[in-house]
């Protein structure tokens, strides 16, 4: 039985000991004050790495026989280096895999460290939870931005939230500054910029009440999700899509399927499905551990 540690880095650090793809004991969280959402942004890179290592050591609880450690991080990750990290800007350019390996080695833990995108961690965790480790699955995380995760892991950038879904020159609400991006329509931040007088939940509530402007946006929002999903289908084939994140509450599956039928016409590509699931941090932690296990060849 491989003894793994999974870490999810988002608004806080969440760490768990994983055995047989299940959480053993409690999930450790830092900072423990759940009312704070900016605790990690304030930490310099070196201090953040030390803090992650300290939380891993707490979970290891003196054990040195850890087989692999997976760290799921928001941003663009390649070969253990954080190339882009809009939510944790101090990590941009950080050689996180090397830094954390050295820090843990100084405390007697010599397990291989794997760094991955947190959306890919969610995909791996869902694949494990739903018994689909032998299948390809994709995950859309609808939050402040839009995350795209894929399992099994494949080399590439996979910034699916920046898929171009419209050529309208007015669509410039994406946080990266790009035009026509899915995130510029569906991201929570982008919706707040578009409707300066309404919160996203008010927009969708008004759409149900018949407000024309909000109804038009609801349709655009679902078209964007369908367009990005159909693009991945035309590139990688059909399969299961999971939808998660705090804005998954706005998704109307029948409307989404209607747009998908309009966009995917090849019969061999129509074996896809959608399921809305809870954004459970335990799943992300398990996914980070599963990815590390596979990367280590265990």
162 lies in the same domain as 43: no
137 lies in the same domain as 64: no
264 lies in the same domain as 160: yes
| CA–CA gap between residue 202 and residue 242 (Å, rounded) | 25
Q: Please spell the DSSP secondary structure of the chain, one letter per residue.
A: --EEEEEEESSSEEEEEEETTEEEEEEEEES--TT-S-TTTTS-HHHHHHHHHHHHHHHHTT-----EEEEEESSEEETTEEEE-SSSGGGTT--HHHHHHHHHHTTT----EEEEEHHHHHHHHHHHHTT-TTS-EEEEEESSSEEEEEES--SS---GGG-B----TT---STT--SSBHHHHHSHHHHHHH-TTS-HHHHHHHHHTT-HHHHHHHHHHHHHHHHHHHHHHHHH---EEEEESTTGGG--HHHHHHHHHHH---GGG---EEEE----HHHHHHHHHHHHHHHTT-
145 lies in the same domain as 267: yes
264 lies in the same domain as 285: no
239 lies in the same domain as 291: no
- Pick out the chain residues at pLDDT < 50: none
pTM over 0.75: yes
Backbone angles phi, psi at 7, to 5 degrees: -130, 130
- Asked whether residue 164 is assigned to any structural domain, the reply reads yes
**Which pair of tokens denotes residue 186?**
């569906």
What's the domain range around 13?
3-122+280-295
9 lies in the same domain as 116: yes
142 lies in the same domain as 102: no
247 lies in the same domain as 259: yes
Structure confidence at residue 101 (pLDDT): 97
- Asked whether residue 43 is assigned to any structural domain, the reply reads yes
Q: Please spell the DSSP secondary structure of 42-93, one letter per residue.
A: TS-HHHHHHHHHHHHHHHHTT-----EEEEEESSEEETTEEEE-SSSGGGTT
Residues 107-159: pLDDT tens digits? 999 999 999 999 999 999 999 999 989 999 999 999 989 999 999 977 777 88
Structure confidence at residue 173 (pLDDT): 96
- Asked whether residue 28 is assigned to any structural domain, the reply reads yes
Residues making up the chain, counted from first to last = 298
Structure confidence at residue 237 (pLDDT): 94
Structure confidence at residue 36 (pLDDT): 58
Total structural domains within the chain: 2
What contacts 242, CB < 8 A, 6 or more positions away? 122, 123, 126, 137, 138, 139, 140, 274, 275, 276, 277
What is the CA 296 to chain-centroid distance, rounded?
22
104 lies in the same domain as 179: no
- Asked whether residue 127 is assigned to any structural domain, the reply reads no
Structure confidence at residue 284 (pLDDT): 95
290 lies in the same domain as 247: no
41 lies in the same domain as 117: yes
Q: At which residue do the structure tokens 């280590």 appear?
A: 296
Structure confidence at residue 62 (pLDDT): 87
What contacts 122, CB < 8 A, 6 or more positions away? 72, 139, 141, 147, 149, 242, 244, 279, 283, 284, 287
Domain CATH for 195:
3.30.420.40
- Asked whether residue 67 is assigned to any structural domain, the reply reads yes
| CA–CA gap between residue 279 and residue 248 (Å, rounded) | 9
- Asked whether residue 262 is assigned to any structural domain, the reply reads yes
């Amino acid at each position: 039985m491989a003894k793994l540690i999974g870490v999810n880095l988002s608004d806080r650090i969440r760490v768990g000991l994983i055995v047989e793809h299940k959480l053993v004991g409690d999930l450790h969280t830092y900072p423990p004050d759940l009312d704070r959402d900016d605790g990690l942004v304030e930490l310099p890179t070196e201090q953040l790495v030390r803090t992650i290592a300290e939380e891993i050591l707490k979970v290891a609880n003196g054990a040195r026989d850890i087989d692999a450690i997976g760290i799921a991080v928001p941003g663009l990750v390649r070969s253990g280096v954080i190339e882009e990290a809009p939510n944790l800007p101090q990590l941009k350019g950080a050689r996180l895999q090397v830094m954390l390996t050295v820090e843990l080695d100084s405390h007697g833990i010599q397990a291989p460290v794997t760094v991955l995108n947190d959306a890919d961690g969610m995909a791996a965790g869902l694949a494990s939870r739903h018994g689909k480790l032998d299948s390809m699955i994709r995950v859309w995380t609808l939050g402040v931005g839009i995350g795209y995760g894929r399992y099994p892991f494949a080399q590439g950038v996979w910034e699916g939230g920046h898929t171009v879904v419209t050529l309208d020159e007015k669509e410039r609400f994406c946080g990266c500054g790009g035009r026509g991006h899915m995130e510029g329509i569906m991201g929570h931040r982008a919706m707040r910029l578009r409707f300066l007088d309404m919160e996203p939940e008010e927009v969708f509530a008004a759409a149900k009440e018949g407000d024309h402007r909000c109804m038009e946006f609801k349709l655009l929002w679902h078209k964007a999700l369908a367009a990005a999903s159909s693009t991945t289908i035309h590139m990688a084939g059909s399969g299961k899509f999971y939808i998660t994140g705090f804005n998954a509450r706005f998704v109307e599956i029948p409307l989404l399927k209607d747009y998908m039928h309009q966009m995917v016409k090849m019969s061999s590509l129509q074996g896809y499905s959608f399921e809305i699931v809870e954004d459970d941090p335990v799943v992300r932690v398990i996914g980070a551990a599963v990815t590390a296990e596979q990367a280590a060849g265990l």
